[in-house]
Each structure stands twice: as structure tokens, then as C-alpha cells.
Structure 1
Amino acid sequence: MGQKITGIKGMNDILPEQSKNWLWIEEELRNWLIKYGYNNIRTPILEDTALFVRSIGEVTDIVEKEMYSFTDSLNGDKLTLRPEGTAGTLRAVLEHSLLYNATQKLWYIGPMFRHERPQKGRYRQFHQLGVEALGFQGPDIDAEIIVMLNDLWHRLGLKNVELHINCLGNAEERLNHRNALIGYFENNQGLLDEEAKRRLHSNPLRILDTKNPNMQDLVTNAPRLIDYLGDQSLAHYNGWKNYLDNMQISYVENPRLVRGLDYYNLSVFEWISSDLGAQSTICGGGRYDPLIVELGGKDNYAIGFAIGIERLLMVLEANNKLPDENVTDIYVVNEGAGTDVAAFKIAHQLRSLGFKVIQNFGGGSFKSQFKKADNSKARVTLVLGENEVKSRQVVLKCMATQKQEVISTDNLSDIIVNYLIK
């Protein structure tokens, strides 16, 4: 016997019992995005490592600790499994000139990869829906994105979600704030943990996002970015909030909201669910105008967000908002000579009408077949024996009431349609 091989830690199989929920949420998301004019884009899961180093930043946890990077043994290329979807999408947009005298509203869904410690809601292979609106200056597009997400939560029946927003300004304003932060933290260096000390001169803004309880008072009293924003950035931020106020969308202004990647500017936001405990963010995003130039494009505008599919499904499950169990319409059982082919034809006929039909294969007694029908959650079971085939009839049994009747196969389609759709 060969050695048993198991899956990779943190990379999970999605089994049929779970995948029905995945198929359902993916369809819900597609239908929702169509309403807002977004088009699907599909990019490779492998990209040049330099793409993520340039877009995410060399001194980040993602690049330093979490990326799955390797050298292709066939040609020496340095490649990385995508840790997020924005960089690859923007690479494709620029490579194929999709922003030439045009704007783009794009979405994608698929696996991302980060070498993190696996825990509930956080995996090494995880799945994201990503949405990117390119070429729009805003703040109207910023507001539309919040409105559309608010619509999604209502569509899915989620109520325990809270919107947090902030403004990161522009590069010059962030530099002034950064210098103030460095000076503040240097004056309080004895209160910094090791991670904060490491980030002090590389990315001090991320110190504000610390989860260390011993540093909360320190970061609460740190210089606030909003106090360093100029008129243009404040106008964009206030314009964004004005749209949200007029749409009666409540929000929390969170000056410590900085997002995890370096390429954001101006508007940033997160939707937080109280149903997930520590892993509370189910959606996050914001503007990333500078990334277009960083990746070789002309100065332009960009905003986007990502939703973690695993976390979203966890929230839906916690709120009992997942769809009811996938129910079979009709189960066809048969026993006796000549009944296999007759059952085969009936099953095919009923599927052509749009019903979900399972036909028993492998024989077995009527008792064992009815047990399979019960397990399939079929609404109706059709029974064919030798006598039914000879008389061109079938027994129709309602599984909920256990009542049954004999009907002719000549008008079976009409009877089934009336029975299951009424």
C-alpha cells in the first residue's frame, strides 16, 4: 500500500456539502455586480515576484514573511503565488492598455496565498472577491462603492456590520504626518514593542494598527493624519462623507484605520462584523491612485475593495442566512426487467423541463432505493416496476405526505409540472 498523502496545512478542500454554499454566494455576488456595471477579469495566480515587491512594499509582513515565492527551475524566473488581487489586475489593465481613453469597472474572484498561521477565518489559501474602479476621480465613485456594499449586506440579510472610514491624504501630507509620528514614537521608544521598533523608520503608520494592548494609550495619543491634510484632501473626504450622509449610511470615522498595504491614498474603509470575534473585517478597501504610476502607467485614479469569501460565509452561517439545503425535485426508482431503460428515459425527459432529477443506479430493492430517495431530500419519488412499464404508468409518491397515485406516462410531464410548481 502506498503512502497516504494529505492536503497542505492551511489549504482546505471544499467538499460538496460546503461547495453548494460557495456556488450560491458566487452567483449572488455576480448578480449584484452586474447591477453596478462591473465586468469580470481573470488573471493568473502566478506573477513576477517584482510585481508584489513594487506594489506592496519591501518592508511589509506580506513580502517579508508571507509570500509563496520561488525560482522557476525551468528558466530561472522569480515567481510568486498572488497574495492579493489588485496588483495583478492593474498589471493586466496596463499591459493591455485598458485605461487608454477609458475607465474600467472590474471584478474578479479566486484564490490568494499567504503563509500565515492557519486559524478560523484565516487560511494559507483563501478566496477573495476583488472589485476595482479605475479612471474615476471621485468622491462620487468612492460613495457608490460604499452604497453598493451597503446594498449587498441588505441583499444577504446581514445587519451586524459597521462601516469604518478614514482619509490618508496624499504623499506629501503622509510624509509630514510620518515625520511627526517618528518623532513622537522616538520620544516614547521605551513603550514600543519589538515589531513597532522594527517599523519605526520603515512604516510608522502601521504602528497605529497594533493589536498590542500595552500600546493602545500610546497610539491613541499619537499625531493624527487628519490634522495634516490639506484643503484638496479634506474636500475629497468631506465630499465622500456628504454622499454617505445623504444616502443615510452610518459610519465611524476611525483615524487609526490605515489598511495593510502601502499603496492606499485618500479614502480608506472597512466593514466590520460583530459576528466574527477577533477576525472582524469582512471587507476592506480604498483609493490607490499612486499604484498606477508605480507599476508603469500614467497618472490616473483607482479605488477598490476585497471581500474574504470564507469570512463572509462564516458571517452568513452565524446569522442563519445560508440557503436551505439543496433539494432534489425527483428521485426515480425502478426494479425488474426492462425498467432500467424506461426509468432512464423518464429521468431525461424531466430534466429537459428544468427539474433536478436523480435516477437510481446499481439496482437494489425498493426499500433500499426509497432510503436513497429520502437521503436525497427528493420532493417526489417516481416508482417503476415491470407492471408499470407494461401499462405505460408510473407511481408518483409525495415524500412529505407519503401519499401516492398512479399516473400515465403519456401526460407525466404536465402532471409533474403542475405538482411541483403549484
Structure 2
Amino acid sequence: MSKSLQAIRGMNDILPAQTPVWRYLETTFAQLLDSYGYSEIRLPILEFTDLFARGIGEGTDVVDKEMYTFLDRNEESLTLRPEGTAGCVRAVLEHGMTGGGQVQKLWYAGPMFRYEKPQKGRYRQFHQIGVEVFNQPGPDIDAELIVLTARLWKKLGMSDAVTLQLNSLGSSEARATYRDALVSYLQQHFDQLDEDSQRRLTTNPLRILDSKNDQTQSLLADAPTLHDYLDDESRAHFDGLKRRLDAAGIAFEINPKLVRGLDYYGRTVFEWVTDKLGSQGTVCAGGRYDGLVSQFGGKPTPGVGFAMGIERLVLLMETLELVPEELNLPAHAFICAFGEAAELAALGLAERLRDALPGLRLLVNAGGGSFKSQFKKADKSGALFALILGDDELAGRVVGCKPLRDDSEQQSIAWDALPERLAACLA
């Protein structure tokens, strides 16, 4: 007996009952970004592996353990994108979009892929909306990105469920000095570190700061702090960001252990977190990556951005019962047609009604059937009205209009008058 077909673990179908809230979220965000002057860019799902190894960083969990990487028929190493920033930087460099100091304010959406343990709110194929800005070096654009996301939470009705956390990672030189101090401290307590932190001590020691291990966190209580090693320019940048957020009325918390999981971040990093989803508390995260473009061979170009997981936002909306009821609206009308002549007429009538009423949700019976079976389908569809076409209606150029959601009597309506009568359904 053959094995039944099923989706790959951690790569999920998004079924028709779920897609309305996805479309609502994506449309709301796209409209918001339009209002702030951001332009959409569409990026490949596959890139050369070296792009992510150089951009995200050797020694990170993403590169070392989580990427879907394979050799194609030309023996070239390709990777399903685990995040969007590296591909966006590659695109703007390849197409000369940042030359001459051009400012680019871009956004993208789509699937990302990471091989990690699937759990609620964390999947192997997941979907992100990302925003990237190039050639804007000041804290004002950092603030705009945060203010923009705060406006999204307000539009979705979840402002009270999320908290903004901020940190500054300083310059690369400041981080290097701090890294040495942190490693020196932790090496004295190596045997007390959890296994992941012991590995990270030689590959990516800053990630130890956000370890989920309680014993490791207790050791970090007496560890050196990054803020003590910040350079003056980074301090001024961070102070400028905080002043702007205060001016915009955006509350925030300073989290000195917030470091992000990707090597390219420097200076500002931020996360919007919630306590409504258990361990999967981050709903949006980002920061500044001023050295990434030059790392890929371009001229030094300031960059800053963020990404948010659509699955996690949908889960939060459902948890908080914020999914608008109107997303699953029923059809306005269902046309029942009896006989070939009526079926032909129904097709033309339906298209004329759609022309006259662009917002009309109209279903037309397909596959024939008896009067009883078609009415049963009309009722099951959730439509407000059944529009009936048979030989008698064709002869009189009328339709029978039967309300399906109350006990009102059926009426005969002339074809020419039908758009005006149905328009009341759209009000």
C-alpha cells in the first residue's frame, strides 16, 4: 500500500478558512507602507549560499544549523532564503540602486525557510514582511521604522499587547572590545555554561546574552555590559533615537541583552515582544546594519530595517480575538438556473450584474440539479438571496428573488431593475 501524501513537517498549507486574515494583514500593511512612501521589491527565493554565509555570518545558528542548502545540476551551492535582508542588499547592489547616495525605502513579503524544530508560531517554511532603508544614517529613520510599526499595532488593535525593547550594539570596534571582555569573563565559568553557550563562546559569543538557560542567565548578571563599551557616536545615535520616540509618544524598554541572531547588526536593534504567545514572544525585530553593503563589495552605505512573521501576527490576532468578523462575509446572491436555456441566460445575467455592481459577491450554480438540490446549495453557501431562473422567468425577463435568511416572501424582479434592488445588499 502506497504511503499517503502529506506536507513536509513544518511546511503548512494555508487553507481557505485561514487566508482571509492573511490577506487582511498583508493588505493593511501594504497600505500603511504606501502612506509612508515605501516601495515594494520582489526577491528570489533561491540565492547562492555564499550570500548568506557572508551576510548573516559564519558561526551563527542560521548558517551552521538551519539553512536549506543543496547543489544544483551545475554543482553550485544554492540556499532557500532564511531571511530577506541579505537578498535585498544583493538586489540593490546588483541594480545600482544605492549609487550616488540614492535613498531607497523598500519592502517585501514572502516565504523564508529554516530547518528548526517546528512548534506553535515557529515553522520551517514561514512568511515575513520586511522593510529595508538605505542611505539614511541618522536616528530619525530608525525612529520612523519604529513609529510605523507602532501605527500598525494600532490599526490591528493590539497596541496594548506588545512592548518595544531597544538596545545599541555600538560600532564594530566597540563590539570587538566588548566581545573580548565578555569571552574573558565567561571562560572563567565555562563549565557552568549550557552546551549551546559553550559552543557559541568561540563562534558567536554575543548570542550567549539572550540564552534561555536559567543558569547561564544567572552567570550573566555579573558579566560586563555592552553599554559600558559603547563609542561616543553610537551613544549619541541611541540618545537621538530615544528622544524621537519620546517625542512620538512611543514607550520603550532598554534591554541590554538584546543582540539579535544575525552578525550584520550594529548600533540600533529593537524588538516588539508580547507575553500572549508563550515562548514565541517576538512579533517584529530589526535594527541597523551600516556595514553590510560594503561587506558585499559595495561602497559604505547605511542600512536599517526590520521583519515581522506573518504566522505569528495571525496567531496573535486570533489569540486576542482581533480578526474582523467581516472577513468571512457570505455571498450576496446565488443564481439557480433550471434547464439549458436558463443556464445560458444566467451566465450573461451574472456578468451584467458584476459589471453594474463591482462589490457584488455572486455565485452561479454549476452542474445542473433539481430545484431542491440547487436551493440546498444556495442555502449552504450562506447567500442572502436565491435568484431563480426557469422557463417562466425567461419568458417574462424576470428572476424570482427568494430571501434565504428570513421568512420574507419570494418576489419577481425585472432583469433591468435587479442591479438597483441588489445594490441595497452592498450598502
Task: Give TM-score scaled by structure 2 length.
Answer: 0.95
- The corresponding residue for 2:420 is 414
Cα distance in 1 between the residues matched to 2:269 and 2:82: 20
- AA aligned opposite 1:263: Y
- The corresponding residue for 1:339 is 342
Q: Deviations over 1:83-103 (max 9, x none)?
A: 101001100101111001211
How far apart are residue 215 of structure 1 and its match?
1.8
Quickly say closer, same or farther: Cα 1:233–1:391, change in 2 above 3 A: same
Instruction: Confirm or deny that 1:5 pairs with 2:8.
Output: no
Q: Which moved more, 1:294-303 or 1:376-385?
A: 376-385
- Secondary structure of the residue that 1:277 maps to in structure 2? coil
Cα distance in 2 between the residues matched to 1:282 and 1:398: 44
- The corresponding residue for 1:105 is 105
- Secondary structure of the residue that 1:260 maps to in structure 2? coil
- Secondary structure of the residue that 1:338 maps to in structure 2? helix
How far apart are residue 381 of structure 1 and its match?
2.0
Cα distance in 1 between the residues matched to 2:4 and 2:271: 42
Cα distance in 1 between the residues matched to 2:267 and 2:287: 8
- Secondary structure of the residue that 1:116 maps to in structure 2? coil
Cα distance in 1 between the residues matched to 2:399 and 2:44: 52
- The corresponding residue for 1:389 is 394
Cα distance in 2 between the residues matched to 1:316 and 1:381: 34
Cα distance in 1 between the residues matched to 2:164 and 2:294: 29
Cα distance in 2 between the residues matched to 1:361 and 1:344: 10
Instruction: Confirm or deny that 1:242 pairs with 2:248.
Output: no
Instruction: Confirm or deny that 1:306 pairs with 2:307.
Output: yes
5 Å-filtered alignment, 1:331-370, equals 331-336=334-339, 338-352=341-355, 353-354=357-358, 355-370=360-375
Quickly say closer, same or farther: Cα 1:370–1:275, change in 2 above 3 A: farther
5 Å-filtered alignment, 1:249-268, equals 249-268=250-269
Q: Deviations over 1:349-381 (max 9, x none)?
A: 111121121101112223322222222221222
- AA aligned opposite 2:417: N
Cα distance in 2 between the residues matched to 1:207 and 1:78: 30
5 Å-filtered alignment, 1:393-404, equals 393-403=398-408, 404=410
How far apart are residue 112 of structure 1 and its match?
0.6
Q: Which moved more, 1:325-334 or 1:86-95?
A: 325-334
Cα distance in 2 between the residues matched to 1:400 and 1:372: 14
- The corresponding residue for 2:217 is 216
- The corresponding residue for 1:140 is 140
- The corresponding residue for 1:202 is 203
- AA aligned opposite 1:333: C
Cα distance in 2 between the residues matched to 1:387 and 1:2: 54
Instruction: Confirm or deny that 1:376 pairs with 2:381.
Output: yes
5 Å-filtered alignment, 1:43-82, equals 43-72=43-72, 74-82=73-81
Q: Deviations over 1:251-272 (max 9, x none)?
A: 1110010001011001000001
How far apart are residue 111 of structure 1 and its match?
0.7
- AA aligned opposite 1:341: L
- Secondary structure of the residue that 1:181 maps to in structure 2? helix
Cα distance in 2 between the residues matched to 1:252 and 1:392: 69
- The corresponding residue for 1:84 is 83
- The corresponding residue for 2:191 is 190
How far apart are residue 2 of structure 1 and its match?
6.2
Residues 337 and 386 of structure 1 are in contact (CA less than 8 Å); yes or no, is this contact kept in structure 2? no
Cα distance in 2 between the residues matched to 1:351 and 1:15: 26
Q: Deviations over 1:139-173 (max 9, x none)?
A: 00000001000000001111301111101000111
Q: CA RMSD in A?
A: 1.4
Q: Which moved more, 1:98-107 or 1:211-220?
A: 211-220
Residues 20 and 326 of structure 1 are in contact (CA less than 8 Å); yes or no, is this contact kept in structure 2? no
- AA aligned opposite 1:167: S
Structure 1 portions without partners, runs of 5+: none
Task: Give TM-score scaled by structure 1 length.
Answer: 0.96
Large movers: runs of 4+ above 3 Å = 1-4
- AA aligned opposite 2:415: T
- The corresponding residue for 1:34 is 34
How far apart are residue 337 of structure 1 and its match?
5.3
Q: Deviations over 1:191-231 (max 9, x none)?
A: 21121111112211110110012222112322111111122
- AA aligned opposite 1:160: A
How far apart are residue 333 of structure 1 and its match?
1.1
Cα distance in 2 between the residues matched to 1:337 and 1:130: 52
- AA aligned opposite 1:154: K
Cα distance in 1 between the residues matched to 2:2 and 2:217: 54
Total equivalences in the alignment:
420
Cα distance in 2 between the residues matched to 1:379 and 1:220: 63
Cα distance in 2 between the residues matched to 1:195 and 1:275: 27
- AA aligned opposite 1:66: E
Cα distance in 2 between the residues matched to 1:369 and 1:278: 49
- Secondary structure of the residue that 1:268 maps to in structure 2? strand
Cα distance in 2 between the residues matched to 1:248 and 1:11: 39
